[in-house]
Amino acid sequence: MTIESTNPATGTVVDTFEDDSGADRDERIERAAETFPEWRTTPIERRQQLLAAAGEVLRENSEEYATLMTEEMGKPIDQSRSEVEKCAWVCDYYAEHAAEFLADEPVAGEPDAETKVVYQPLGPILAIMPWNFPFWQVFRFAAPNLTAGNVGVLKHASNVPGCARAIEDVFREAGYPDGAFSSLLIDSDEIDAVLEDDRIAGVTLTGSDGAGRAVAETAGNELTKTVLELGGSDPFVVLDDAPMEKTVETAVQARLINNGQSCIAAKRFIVHTDVYDEFLDRFVDEMDAQVVGDPMDEKTDIGPQAREDLMDDLHEQVEETIDRGGDLELGGEPMDRDGAYYPPTVITDPLEDSPADQEEVFGPVATVFEVSDEERAIEKANDTRFGLGASVWTADLDRGERVARRFESGLAFVNELVKSDPRLPFGGVKDSGYGRELARAGIREFVNAKTIWVQHEAGEETEMVE
């Protein structure tokens, strides 16, 4: 069977690929399992060198990879270029810091024993990745985990098969051994068979909470370690002393980045009543000023939604929210043009049980809530089953940090949009998942933190070595 890659801006086929048969799937997993013993014993300095080389491959082919992303899922070309550069950055980061993060840690214990914690890789790790950041999501997983000594098996989203194969080529060109990183072009209904394979030592998924529950259930039956990053409905809290010009400018960017299709995009704008009218007027004007068009055009701010069916789902959420009492301030209808284009949309005062209030709205749709005071703003921000990111805007940074500490989220920002950074742990709480990616915490998710106890002769004290 063939897999078609379709350009959501035009509906034309970008490329076709043969999917992996059951035999192909098994062969790739077996190759990963056979590669692991040698790869895990490769000195970490060599693994870091190869990761740095992968970063160089990304930079050398940036325009090719950026164009591929834009053609397959529709993000504006400039954002695709930035995504390639961010992938190279995460390679640079772990190429510099991985050995430090995984170094043996002496631990004080008995005076006549040497005790330490060592960090050892687990084996083949399955990564189930989404289409919205088709390079970044994969490299966010691969850079730390391959450098820790694991091998990677990728099951990418079905609408970005070209990106999946291109990423496999990046590691090959960088000099990684065959089997260190491989991609499976398989249907989603085959994932359980991979999860149940005893050669798979761990699984990480970025996707919907429904997909996360299904994967966690199957992996749990196998006692396989999981990390889940499951999206969110991030609040963007505007307090009465917010610096309005910067707040509105960032609010638009935070909602519309990646055509509005980001798990950490600001989705619920919670605004203090004293500045509500000013914020709403300026926000609607700025949203309306964004250029919707061909994602290959440098002047475009918003491209198409990644698939026609995703746009249809988004529109259903908008229609139901409005039917149940929300006020439409801007947009609200698919655009009358070829491609899966949905305009910037603003809804005010949605009912508490409406889709735009309770569900993740994955597209350029913002909901705006008016609240009477800071306490009510915090309550509304936390009134969601999700808990990925949150931000607060205020002229008083102490006040901002106090509010940020009260958000029920894995990430909390003051006077900045929510974003991922290789230097900081990334992940959520509640229905946004568990586990962490990036930084020191991320590279230690899929390793065995093993205690080593070396007993010396009685009375022989040991010297702890840093």
Is 263 known to be catalytic?
Answer: yes
- DSSP label of 261: -
Domain 234-414: homologous superfamily in CATH: Aldehyde Dehydrogenase; Chain A, domain 2 (3.40.309.10)
At residue 223, the pLDDT reads 98
**Phi-psi group of 222: left, alpha or beta (phi > 0 → left; psi -120 to 50 → alpha; rest → beta):** alpha
The predicted structure's pLDDT at residue 352: 87
- Residue numbers of the chain with a pLDDT score lower than 70: 459-466
What are the backbone angles phi and psi of residue 76, rounded to the nearest 5°? -55, 140
Whole-angstrom CA distances from 257 to 13, 33, 114, 170, 438 are 25, 38, 51, 26, 21
| Closest C-alpha to 350, from 363, 366, 362 | 366
Specify the CATH architecture of the domain 2-230+432-452: 3-Layer(aba) Sandwich (3.40)
Beta strand spans in 88-165 (E): 105-106, 113-121, 124-128, 151-155
Domain boundaries, the chain: 2-230+432-452, 234-414
For residues 267 and 428, give the distance between their C-alpha atoms in angstroms, rounded to a whole number. 16
Check if 229 is active-site: yes
User: Which residue in 199, 146, 144 sits closest to 168, CA to CA?
Assistant: 146
CB-based burial label for 248 (10 Å; 0-12, 13-18, 19+): buried
Structure tokens at 102: 């995984």
The single residue of 71, 72, 168, 229 carrying the catalytic annotation is 229
The dihedral formed by the CA atoms of 407, 408, 412 and 414, expressed in degrees to the nearest 10: -10
Which of these is catalytic: 163, 168, 263, 370?
A: 263
> 374-431 pLDDT, tens per residue?
999 999 999 999 999 999 999 999 999 999 999 999 999 999 999 999 999 999 999 9
Beta carbons of 81 and 63 less than 8 angstroms apart? yes
Q: What is the pLDDT of residue 466?
A: 45
At 465 the pLDDT is 45
